[in-house]
């Protein structure tokens, strides 16, 4: 039989072991074999997945418990098995398995030995942790030097092997970053519509920053770099929750699904996720899946507009509601965005919300307050902008110009189409939820939209006054826009130069280019002198020095006694790239805080 089932996730150590066992000749063929196998149909019979490699060869993948945790779970019927290229190719074509939390337990660590205990609070990292961090650094530096096109299955397997060793050594944060890099590399090489170069750059920066700092860190800083392997669920008592919105989840790790956000009477945010291995199709359909929480019998779409009464609740630090056997939950009435208690989320001034989001972005992911990156704003649509990286809609929020972008560009989701439709209605007033994007100008990724309180004219025409639109799921129609809809101004206004006064993009485009094309892309002659001068004139002297060192590290190669070029210093290049990436992030956050600052009395509204 034929089917469209994706392959089950494969544990990092399994992929690493299969690739390590290949001969050098087969390693050279691995990328082509992985691409070929990924295009073959997959059938499923219980926990067994079958892939027809050719007319004579069938490959079986056994996933007891939902994921592949042993090398022998992948079997091939070809004559070269078990030393064939098909088994590691199957592992490379499958998502990477991540430790997932049980309902009220911490993350399980799939390993063949227990993870190392954390050292005392003021002690430095253990020798085992330093060795694992060094291995992660070397693997990340190799991936950076190769770029997306060069970071094939072998490079990815080295990252996964280092991630497994780091997890066993008690370094879950850098281990998770390495797995994230692999997932985003695979998305980039497969031309996945959901892939963003900025996401891969961020993941690689996280990997190199954490693995580099572990060798010398102590105390709270070391604990922060190590991260936490378990997500504790603490008693939350009785909760009365009101649904806010649902958003699709399409992760570079090969996981997809939905997260529904809710708030209690005090404005605290909680989330109910349903994320599992899959792609855009699963993300697009997950909103209709039933919420697995106590006795609740409603879908995520229904929960985003209704409410819950939960007793015996358990809550993780990131706001995730546990679904243990002792948890009881029943459906209750919801509230509109303009009604108590949800309306309090929009009462906080925009610049205060941005400060809170930026402060949370500086923390490790497992220590961020739940929903801290979300902003709740009332704004007026103005006009579309032409900008790199996708469609942008200019909006006005109490005199503050804000750039609105789609939360995800995947065509299977509704984000992009909805943003384009909203851009055809200048003057449209919206109450929105968005995710802050740090940068020189105020920018949000739109997640949900509704009617501002008291609006009956230039507002969305929704079936119910209390309704809202989940922009990743609900596809707007022209009839949902106010009539008569104002015509958009002729042409598309160009976006303002994001670095007219602080040309930070000169550094960002080089760090991004290195990730995309590798070290050699920066070793070519370019306009370093002009860019260095522009950075100095803008007061970014440190950035000017970093951009010069980055190009030197990429281009400098010594020679041996016979005059032959030696290999480039990948470690030096990785250090130069990391310094530039961290500096870019730090300055971007400072510029973002300044851009979101409260408008002064003489600041006019955005011109339509």
Q: HEC string of 135-174?
A: HHHHHHHHHHHHHHHHCCHHHHHHHHHHHHHHHHCCCHHH
What per-residue confidence (pLDDT) applies to 65? 83
Mean pLDDT value across residues 301-326: 91
Strand pairing class (374-386; 392-397): antiparallel
DSSP element (H, E) containing 395: strand 392-397
Instruction: List strand residue ranges (DSSP E) for 2-138, in order.
Output: 42-45, 48-52, 58-62, 74-76
What per-residue confidence (pLDDT) applies to 598? 62
CA 563 to chain centre: 45
pLDDT tens by residue, 336-363: 999 999 999 999 999 999 999 999 988 8
Mean pLDDT value across residues 240-250: 95
What per-residue confidence (pLDDT) applies to 2? 45
Instruction: Please check the confidence at residue 191 and state whether its pLDDT lies above 70.
Output: yes
What per-residue confidence (pLDDT) applies to 603? 44
Mean pLDDT value across residues 430-438: 94
Look at 1 and 229; give whichever has higher pLDDT: 229
Q: Tokens standing for 320?
A: 């995730």
Domains 234-334 and 345-494 share a fold: yes
CA proximity to 462, closest of 417, 495, 429: 429
The answer to whether the beta carbons of residues 98 and 256 sit under 8 Å apart is no
What per-residue confidence (pLDDT) applies to 308? 94
CATH 2.40.50 fits 345-494, yes or no: yes
Q: Residue with structure tokens 């358990």? A: 314
Annotate 217-282 with three-state secondary structure: CEHHHHHHHHCCCCCCCEEEEEEEEEEEEEEEEECCCCEEEEEEEEECCCCCEEEEEEEEECCHHH
Cα angle, residue 113 at apex, residues 107 and 115 outer, rounded to 5°: 50
Asked whether the bond before 82 is cis by omega within 30 degrees of 0, the reply is: yes
Measured distance CA(367)–CA(220) in Å, rounded: 13
For the 234-334 domain, the top CATH level (class) is mainly beta
To the nearest 10°, report the CA torsion of 214, 215, 221, 225: 0
Task: Give the pTM.
Answer: 0.85
What per-residue confidence (pLDDT) applies to 111? 40
pLDDT tens by residue, 520-553: 999 887 667 788 899 999 899 999 999 999 999 9
Domain ranges of the chain: 12-93, 127-226, 234-334, 345-494, 505-595
What per-residue confidence (pLDDT) applies to 565? 82
- Residue 155 has phi, psi (to 5 degrees) of -60, -40
Looking at every residue in the chain, the average pLDDT score rounds to: 87
What per-residue confidence (pLDDT) applies to 3? 52
Beta bridge partners, 494, equal 386
Mean pLDDT value across residues 500-522: 87
Q: Tokens standing for 76?
A: 């091939």
pLDDT band at 252 (very low <50, low <70, confident <90, very high): low
Q: Residue 55 CB: number of other CB atoms within 10 A?
A: 6
pLDDT band at 375 (very low <50, low <70, confident <90, very high): very high
């Amino acid at each position: 039989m034929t089917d469209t089932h994706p392959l089950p996730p494969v544990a990092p150590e399994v992929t690493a072991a299969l690739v390590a066992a290949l001969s050098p000749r087969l390693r050279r063929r691995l990328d082509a074999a992985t691409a070929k196998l990924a295009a073959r149909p997959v059938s499923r019979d219980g926990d067994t997945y079958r892939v027809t490699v050719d007319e004579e060869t069938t490959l079986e993948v056994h996933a007891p418990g939902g994921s592949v945790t042993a090398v022998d779970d992948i079997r091939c019927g070809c004559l070269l098995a078990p030393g064939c290229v098909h088994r590691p190719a199957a592992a490379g074509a499958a998502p990477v398995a991540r430790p997932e939390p049980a309902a009220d337990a911490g993350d399980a660590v799939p390993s063949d030995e227990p993870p190392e205990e954390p050292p005392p609070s003021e002690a430095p990292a253990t020798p085992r942790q330093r060795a694992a961090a060094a291995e992660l650094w070397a693997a990340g530096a190799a991936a950076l030097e190769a770029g997306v096109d060069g970071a094939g299955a072998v490079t990815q397997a080295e990252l996964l092997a280092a991630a497994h060793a780091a997890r066993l050594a008690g370094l879950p944060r850098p281990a998770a970053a390495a797995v994230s890099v692999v997932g985003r590399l695979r998305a980039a090489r497969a031309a996945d519509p959901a892939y963003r170069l900025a996401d891969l750059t961020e993941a690689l920066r996280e990997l190199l920053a954490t693995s580099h700092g572990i060798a010398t860190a102590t105390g709270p800083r070391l604990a922060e770099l190590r991260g936490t392997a378990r997500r504790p669920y603490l008693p939350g008592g009785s909760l009365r929750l009101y649904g806010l919105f649902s958003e699709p989840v399409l992760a570079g790790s090969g996981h997809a699904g939905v997260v529904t956000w809710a708030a209690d009477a005090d404005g605290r945010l909680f989330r109910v996720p349903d994320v599992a291995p899959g792609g855009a199709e699963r993300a697009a359909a997950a909103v209709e899946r039933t919420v697995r929480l106590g006795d609740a019998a409603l879908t995520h779409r229904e929960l985003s507009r209704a409410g819950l009464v939960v007793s015996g609740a358990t809550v993780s630090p990131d706001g995730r509601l546990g679904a243990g056997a002792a948890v009881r939950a029943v459906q209750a009435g919801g509230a509109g965005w303009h009604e108590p208690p949800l309306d309090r989320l929009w009462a906080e001034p925009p610049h205060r919300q941005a400060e809170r989001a930026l402060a949370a972005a500086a923390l490790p992911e497992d220590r961020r307050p739940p929903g801290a990156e979300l902003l709740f704003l009332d704004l007026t649509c103005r006009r579309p902008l032409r900008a790199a990286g996708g469609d942008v809609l200019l909006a006005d929020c109490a005199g503050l110009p804000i750039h609105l972008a789609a939360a995800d560009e995947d065509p299977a989701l509704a984000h992009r189409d909805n943003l384009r439709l909203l851009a055809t209605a200048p003057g449209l007033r919206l109450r929105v939820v968005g995710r802050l994007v740090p940068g020189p100008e105020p920018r949000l990724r739109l997640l949900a939209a509704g009617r501002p309180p008291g609006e009956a004219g230039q507002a969305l025409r929704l079936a119910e006054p209390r309704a809202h639109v989940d922009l990743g799921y609900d596809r707007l129609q022209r009839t949902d826009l106010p009539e008569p809809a104002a015509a958009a101004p002729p042409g598309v206004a160009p976006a303002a130069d994001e670095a007219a006064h602080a040309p930070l993009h000169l550094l960002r485009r080089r760090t991004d280019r290195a990730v995309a094309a590798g070290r050699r892309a920066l070793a070519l002659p370019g306009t370093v002198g002009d860019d260095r001068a522009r950075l100095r004139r803008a007061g970014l002297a440190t950035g000017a020095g970093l951009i010069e060192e980055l190009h030197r590290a990429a281009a400098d190669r010594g020679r041996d006694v016979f005059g032959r070029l030696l290999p480039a210093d990948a470690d030096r290049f990785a250090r130069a790239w990391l310094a530039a990436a961290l500096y870019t992030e730090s300055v971007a956050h400072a510029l973002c805080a300044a851009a979101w600052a409260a408008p002064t009395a003489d600041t006019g509204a955005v011109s339509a």
